[in-house]
């Protein structure tokens, strides 16, 4: 059970004209509730005081973002502790006292400087010494976040802020936030260029919590890699198909798939209706699965009917069609199943099959994914002709690509196939809003080109990850989908959150594997963003999965790995999840 206590000491001040005239006031707040991002100390002078008086307070905002426990203390006239003032107003005194009591979080917010700058004036060395007095009191092994100061005396203000930047440049454990720039640009009301009115303090607390969280909420190594299951079959090679529809519950007599139930697809039953169907020696299928007319938010999972997968193939929202590709093993009874968490119609298209032995084609992954086309640079076209041959070492019959729609004119879809053989199925469903992406195995013409067609106007981005050909390198080893990363609970050894621009490496395949195929999910990023999976070589200018702020986006990924490890970068703070469907080996 959480507990929050707040104490106001010597509170003799009034807020007049946006300033705290009673500078002797002190406020202490304790939040006992633990958060996934860990505990925080917050200490400061009268500039911080309003952040503890006007709710939602700074501790409220930090707790809402996942921090806790929290110990907060703000006192008028508070200083670093370098100068001769009463212990009550020496911040170093409180830091020493808390540490002696066992309170010593790694993360510390220090909001001091207005009073210290009064002692130091324009003496830069004095200002640096006052800052270092606090830093040394906190001690090594911490991360200290310190806002710059505002003040009517610009010379003293600028000297102290310069001192903060000197310390920031010299130390890895001190991080300065430019509150002065935020104050100047944000239109905050202040009667003395230091303190704010109540609404200003509420805004400042929100900005501080956001900036602090963006800076320090990153994944940390918390455990080891996930144990991988035994493969379901021997290595297989790929047989590309022109995309073909296997099932569509919108027109079937069975109706939608109900929540908690499954759609069973007997590959022998559909073989008669599907040209070149699924051969008897097939071990896995490459599918594109779509949710349509869902009655609630939920997810679909695809796998053998007798072995439900642990992860999701796609996440859907009520009433919005969305699709995602997947590679799934075929059960011993020649079936695959689509499991639904909520009522929804389901559409399943076949993109290719994997067959035992060497009858099919092998894959050659790019060491680093490559961007083949981006109409944001070339101008929008209803049909984009993509030349994959230039990015590949030899002739191929198919490619593994990632397609992204950006800024569409409305609800629509993309198709991808040989230019002379347009399919009747979608490779990507899109709607106005954040960019959305989907991977696909696409057959190419003899000249190494393929076409992407848009049903309505949208920008189209095409990234290449691999090619398939008779002279390729790798065969595919399917497994029952296994969760190998989940930053929400530490699966795969990383928690509690994937930080913006952070690149953890994850064990997703055996060390003998050269590539992996799986489902990457970007979970509720704080801002519209994307994640990029790659083999830990280079920094590719590509995306693997996209999601809007607060939304879940999933996509299938086929990418190279290094010693079985995949690197994953997210452009925005989010939770990231990866489910391994299989890997690629030289066999």
Task: Give yes or no: residues 210 and 246 share one domain.
Answer: no
Task: Provide the residue range defining the domain that includes 526.
Answer: 478-587
State residue 523's pLDDT score: 93
Task: Give yes or no: residues 420 and 550 share one domain.
Answer: no
Q: pLDDT-derived band of residue 274, with 50, 70 and 90 as boundaries?
A: low
The span from the CA of 7 to the CA of 14, in Å, is: 17
Is residue 47 domain-resident?
A: yes
State residue 471's pLDDT score: 87
Which is more confident, 49 or 13?
Answer: 49
Residue 272 has pLDDT above 60, yes or no: no
Last residue of a domain, one of 356, 382, 409: 356
Is residue 545 domain-resident?
A: yes
Task: Give yes or no: residues 267 and 196 share one domain.
Answer: no
State residue 359's pLDDT score: 83
Express as a percent the part of the chain with pLDDT over 70: 95
Task: Give yes or no: residues 347 and 284 share one domain.
Answer: yes
- Can you tell me whether residue 61 is helix, strand or coil? helix
Task: Give yes or no: residues 310 and 458 share one domain.
Answer: no
Tell me the pLDDT tens digit for each residue of 132-149. 999 999 999 999 999 999
User: 105-109, 362-366, 381-385, 522-526: which has the highest mean pLDDT?
Assistant: 105-109
- Rounded to an integer, the average pLDDT of 237-266 is 90
Distinct helix (H) and strand (E) counts, the chain: 10, 35
Residue 17 has pLDDT above 70, yes or no: no
Last residue of a domain, one of 437, 471, 505: 471
In sign, the C-alpha dihedral spanning 70, 76, 82, 85 is negative
Q: pLDDT-derived band of residue 18, with 50, 70 and 90 as boundaries?
A: very low
Task: Give yes or no: residues 338 and 302 share one domain.
Answer: yes
State residue 539's pLDDT score: 83
Q: pLDDT-derived band of residue 252, with 50, 70 and 90 as boundaries?
A: confident
- Rounded to an integer, the average pLDDT of 155-166 is 97
- Rounded to an integer, the average pLDDT of 348-360 is 89
Phi-psi region of 92 (alpha: psi -120 to 50; beta: other; left: phi over 0): alpha
Q: pLDDT-derived band of residue 106, with 50, 70 and 90 as boundaries?
A: very high
- Cα angle 185, 80, 163 (rounded to 5 degrees) comes to 55
Q: What is the CATH number of the domain that holds 180?
A: 3.40.50.1110
Q: What is the CATH number of the domain that holds 554?
A: 2.60.120
The span from the CA of 132 to the CA of 295, in Å, is: 58
State residue 9's pLDDT score: 42
472 touches 479 (CB < 8 A) = no
Residue 276 has pLDDT above 70, yes or no: no
For the chain, the average pLDDT equals: 90
State residue 233's pLDDT score: 83
| Integer CA distances (angstroms), 113 to 50, 80, 179, 238, in order | 16, 8, 12, 65
Task: Give yes or no: residues 286 and 433 share one domain.
Answer: no
- Rounded to an integer, the average pLDDT of 559-565 is 95
State residue 541's pLDDT score: 87
Task: Give yes or no: residues 465 and 491 share one domain.
Answer: no
Q: At which residue do the structure tokens 């009550």 appear?
A: 88
The span from the CA of 342 to the CA of 203, in Å, is: 39
Task: Give yes or no: residues 21 and 165 share one domain.
Answer: yes
The span from the CA of 120 to the CA of 461, in Å, is: 56
State residue 474's pLDDT score: 94
Residue 12 has pLDDT above 70, yes or no: no
Whole-prediction pTM: 0.77
Is residue 230 domain-resident?
A: no
546 touches 437 (CB < 8 A) = yes
Q: pLDDT-derived band of residue 241, with 50, 70 and 90 as boundaries?
A: confident
What φ, ψ does residue 200 adopt, rounded to 5°?
Answer: -65, -40
Task: Give yes or no: residues 487 and 510 share one domain.
Answer: yes
Task: Give yes or no: residues 458 and 502 share one domain.
Answer: no
428 touches 437 (CB < 8 A) = yes
The span from the CA of 431 to the CA of 324, in Å, is: 14
State residue 280's pLDDT score: 86
Residue 19 has pLDDT above 80, yes or no: no
Residue 425 has pLDDT above 90, yes or no: no
Express as a percent the part of the chain with pLDDT over 90: 71
Dump the DSSP string for 530-548: EEEEE-SSS--S--SEEE-
Task: Give yes or no: residues 62 and 192 share one domain.
Answer: yes
Tell me the pLDDT tens digit for each residue of 488-543. 999 999 999 999 899 999 999 999 999 999 999 999 998 899 999 999 988 888 88
Dump the DSSP string for 194-217: S---HHHHHHHHHHHHHHHHHHH-
Last residue of a domain, one of 454, 471, 488: 471
How many structural domains does the chain have? 4
Is residue 388 domain-resident?
A: yes
Tell me the pLDDT tens digit for each residue of 433-476. 889 999 999 999 999 999 999 999 999 999 999 999 988 899 99
Helices (H), 263-399: 267-271, 375-378
Is residue 309 domain-resident?
A: yes
State residue 13's pLDDT score: 33
Is residue 227 domain-resident?
A: no
Residue 60 has pLDDT above 90, yes or no: yes
Is residue 222 domain-resident?
A: no
Residue 23 has pLDDT above 50, yes or no: no
Is residue 229 domain-resident?
A: no
The span from the CA of 552 to the CA of 158, in Å, is: 44
């Amino acid at each position: 059970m959480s507990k929050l206590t707040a104490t106001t000491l010597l509170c003799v001040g009034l807020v007049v004209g946006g300033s705290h005239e009673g500078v002797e006031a002190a406020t202490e707040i304790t939040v006992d509730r633990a958060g996934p991002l860990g505990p925080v100390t917050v200490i400061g002078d009268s500039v911080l005081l309003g952040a503890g008086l006007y709710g939602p307070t700074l501790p409220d905002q930090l707790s809402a973002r996942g921090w806790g426990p929290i110990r907060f203390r703000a006192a008028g006239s508070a200083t670093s502790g370098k100068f001769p003032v009463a212990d009550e107003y020496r911040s170093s005194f409180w830091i020493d006292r808390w540490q002696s009591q066992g309170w010593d979080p790694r993360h510390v917010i220090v909001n001091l400087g207005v009073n210290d700058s009064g002692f130091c004036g324009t003496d830069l060395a004095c200002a640096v010494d006052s800052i270092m007095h606090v830093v040394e009191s906190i001690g090594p092994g911490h991360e200290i976040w310190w806002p710059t100061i505002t003040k009517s005396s610009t010379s003293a203000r600028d000297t102290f802020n310069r001192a903060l930047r000197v310390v920031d440049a010299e130390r890895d454990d001190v991080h300065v936030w430019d509150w002065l720039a935020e104050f100047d640009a944000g239109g905050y009301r202040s009667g003395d260029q230091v303190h704010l009115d109540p609404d200003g303090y509420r805004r400042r607390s929100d900005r501080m919590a956001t900036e602090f969280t963006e800076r320090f909420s990153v994944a940390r190594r918390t455990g080891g890699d996930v144990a991988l299951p035994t493969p379901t079959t021997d290595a297989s090679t790929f047989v590309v198909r022109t995309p073909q529809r296997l099932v569509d519950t919108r027109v079937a007599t069975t109706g939608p798939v109900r929540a908690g139930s499954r759609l069973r697809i007997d590959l022998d039953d559909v073989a008669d209706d599907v040209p070149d169907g699924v051969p008897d020696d097939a071990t896995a299928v490459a599918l594109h699965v779509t949710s349509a007319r869902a009655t609630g938010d939920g997810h679909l999972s695809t796998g053998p009917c007798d072995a439900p997968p642990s992860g999701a193939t796609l996440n859907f929202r009520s009433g919005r069609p969305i699709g995602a590709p997947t590679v799934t093993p075929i059960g011993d009874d020649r079936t695959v199943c689509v499991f639904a968490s909520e009522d929804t119609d389901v559409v399943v298209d076949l993109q290719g099959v994997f067959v035992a032995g060497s009858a099919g084609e092998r894959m050659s992954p790019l060491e680093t994914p490559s961007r083949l086309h981006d109409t944001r640079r070339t101008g929008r076209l209803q049909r984009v002709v993509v030349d994959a041959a230039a990015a590949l070492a030899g002739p191929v019959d198919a490619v593994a690509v990632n397609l992204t729609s950006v800024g569409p004119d409305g609800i629509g879809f993309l198709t991808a196939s040989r230019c002379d053989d347009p399919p009747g199925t979608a490779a990507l469903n899109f709607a106005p809003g954040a960019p959305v992406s989907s991977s696909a195995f696409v057959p190419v013409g003899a000249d190494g080109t393929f076409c992407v067609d848009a049903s309505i106007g949208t920008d189209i981005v095409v990234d290449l990850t691999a090619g398939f050909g008779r002279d390729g390198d790798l065969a595919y080893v399917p497994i029952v989908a296994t969760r190998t990363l989940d930053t929400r609970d530490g699966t795969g050894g990383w928690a509690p959150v994937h930080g913006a621009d952070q690149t953890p490496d994850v064990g997703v395949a055996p060390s003998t594997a050269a590539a992996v195929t799986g489902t990457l999910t970007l979970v509720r990023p704080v801002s519209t963003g994307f994640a990029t999976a790659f083999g830990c070589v280079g920094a590719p200018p590509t995306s693997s999965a996209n999601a809007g702020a607060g939304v879940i986006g999933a996509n299938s990924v086929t990418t190279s790995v290094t010693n079985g490890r995949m690197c994953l970068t997210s452009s925005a703070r989010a939770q990231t999840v990866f489910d391994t469907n299989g890997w690629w080996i030289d066999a």
